[in-house]
A and B are shown apart, each in its own frame.
Chain A
Amino acid sequence: MVLAPGLVLVAGLAAGLKAVTAGESPATPAVETLRLLGKQRRRTPDDDPGLARVGLALLPVAAVLALAVVPLGDRAPVDLDVGVVWFNAMEVVAWFAVWVAGWGPNAVTSLAGGYRVLPLGLAYEVPHMLAIITPAIAAGSLSPVAIAAAQQDLWYAVWMPAAFVLYLVSVAAMAFWGPFAAPLGRDLAGGAAAEHAGLDRLLLLAGRWMLLTAAAAMAVPLFLGGGAPPPITGPDPFPGLPALWFGVKLAVVLGLLLALRRAVPMLRMARFATLAWVVLVPLAVAQALVVTLVVLA
């Protein structure tokens, strides 16, 4: 029950960090939230507000459900034995959410923005699936808790760096963030958000931050050893505080994602689809193959 407010809080902190790096006040996310709460909602002619609002409400819900299987420390809120697959399923639900959010208003920029989720999703999904399956192969389990526990001697970020980098890229893509912001692109006047005001807009923009945070949180058990201290530090200086280590590692991953946004401008979907199929997919297959061979040997 504390999961949803917790995710909102951490996502808000991440948004505040982003505001600071952009030279704005750290209170900007709070100001923007209050601003959107105070704004009137709006409809467009011949729209389908019911369907659009299903999508808008689904986005934060999918983020919370995805986070539910992530061990926040040493235990997950819901310890699902197929947690990795569940996480993947919830993140795909977000595609649907953004697509109907763009479809609903019946306006051209919003619709084109919603459609951009499809090339984006189909381009990042295959490398992403391979990237999350690779640690599962190494640990011999689909449970994030077991995968984190299998990294006592060596973090998977070190042992399978290509999978880790691919995971980071796909985190940005699944939250249509930074280089992958095309579904909400400025060139489309805000894309899928172009016709949503007030609470509707807040759900879309906050849901995106929550999705980014939840996906970044999954990197900790999959690649960074979960709530355990780094293997090289020797005895744990904060014994019994796995949530602290989890928080530190989550902050690092979110920092990397903020740096990615600054370093790489928004990519056109045709560019990214080419990159994904010609470079990222073979790389992900090669990484999975190497890990599988080592595990089998």
Chain B
Amino acid sequence: MVLRSVLARRPHVLTITPATVDLGLRLAVEAELARRRWPEASAPVDADVALVLGTPGPRLAAVVRSVWATVPAPRVLVAVPTAGVLRSALDDAAAGLRSSRPRGSRASSLSLDASNDALLPDGDWADHREVDVPPEPQMADLAFYDRDGLALDALHVALGPVLPHWPAGLVAHVTLAGDLVTDAHAEVLDVPASVGPGSRGRSPLGPDRTRLDVLTRVLGLLGADHLAARARHLRDHDPEPGELTAFGRRLHRNRPVRWAVRDVPLVGGAVEERTLADRVAHLAGALGGSLPPPVRPTAEKAVQAMVGLELGAARLVLAALDPDTTLGAGPVAAFAPPEVTHHHH
């Protein structure tokens, strides 16, 4: 019981966000978690509370189910359909962790609530192993193409939609050779692919908050926690223009950060910048100014920019491009999983 009350003091929270979520809700959740000092879980395995924002569609609901199956007990699954019930939902989550038998949130009125009990662990963990969780790899096969002409192994794997600092609702179907992304296609769960350009200047957040939102993710991925926290604070607290330009200058002067994002190309022309360093510099430099908001490409264009990069660099590129997933994947053919063949050495 002591362990449980400790758990409820500082639970790690895994947030699962549909592509179509209300932006205000996502920001409210991030701000409330920061206020309570509840850390963001880095993976399902690190989570005590799984928080499902908004109204997940059928595809995301399936992901929620398989992700939930991999969260180790004690654990609580909570739905937060609107910002109004956020605080009571989080209080319920803490109470659920404290009680001996974790329950779902009373604040949720979604169909998830009905399935919640069915998802609770009631026996040996081994019986509950799920196989179809997106981040799990399938068997490797030989690469169709590889740069050096060696018959290397390749792996087809779906990245997302439950990863830290990952665009809402996005699944990137990638082919990996080692930790190198050799092919990538986007899918946005529950949003039909539309034909159209990216959201040039259409973010409901406004230019500066959009930039800060992107910078929060990039800095978070870089492990620059205090800078990421500062960017989020500015994003959530109507800052003075002076504060914004000061933060932009601080980032611009920060040589370690500049050095860490160097030497990563942005290919495919998703945005006008040619390198990650330029993209970050423009995002930081335009803070507090009167420039138009940053271009947010379609998901497919952003995911295509990951090809040829190491996984870590690819994650930074995706975070910096910040695709607008509310538009769907963009003009692409429907995703068809490649034929997977087994082979032996």
Contact = CB atoms under 8 A, between A and B. Distances in A.
Contact of A44 (B136, B165, B316): B136
Contacts of A32: 10
A198 B72 contact: yes
A269 B311 CA distance: 11
A149 interface: no
Interface stretch (A34-42, A206-214, A216-224, A288-296): A34-42
A268 B42 contact: no
A42 B45 contact: yes
A167 interface: no
A160 B178 CA distance: 40
B298 to A, nearest CB: 22
A190 B42 CA distance: 6
Interface string A110-134: 0110011000000000000000000
Given A189-B43, A268-B260, A35 B7 contact: yes
- Output the residue of B72, B157, B220, B226 with the most chain A CB within 10 A: B72
Contact of A271 (B2, B226, B260): B260
Nearest to B70: A42
B135 A109 contact: yes
Nearest to A115: B179
B315 A187 contact: yes
A189 B47 CA distance: 12
B263 interface: yes
A201 to B, nearest CB: 7
Contact of A201 (B45, B129, B135, B312): B45
B72 A42 contact: yes
How big is the B interface, by class?
A: 35 or more
A268 B314 CA distance: 11
B259 interface: yes
A268 B310 contact: yes
A194 B256 contact: no
Nearest to B262: A271
B163 A189 contact: yes
A122 to B, nearest CB: 15
A34 B42 contact: no
Given A271-B262, A271-B263, A22 B7 contact: no
B223 A31 contact: no
A32 B312 CA distance: 27
Contacts of B42: 186, 189-190, 193-194
Contact of A181 (B3, B125, B223, B316): B223
A34 B43 contact: no
Contacts of B146: none
B37 interface: yes
Contacts of B10: 28, 31-32, 35
A197 B75 CA distance: 12
Contacts of B257: 265
A188 interface: yes
Contacts of B224: 265-266
Given A108-B155, A109-B43, A268-B313, A187 B7 contact: no
A107 B164 contact: no
Contacts of A201: 45-46
Interface string B313-331: 1011000000000000000
- Output the residue of B7, B227, B262 with the most chain A CB within 10 A: B7
Nearest to B4: A38
Nearest to A267: B260
A34 B125 contact: no
11 contacts: A40-B125, A43-B126, A45-B131, A115-B179, A178-B223, A189-B135, A194-B42, A201-B45, A265-B219, A268-B312, A270-B310
Given A186-B165, A270-B310, 5 more contacts: A31-B6, A115-B178, A187-B312, A189-B42, A271-B262
Name the 5 nearest CB pairs between A and B, nearest first: A38-B3, A266-B223, A265-B222, A190-B42, A40-B72
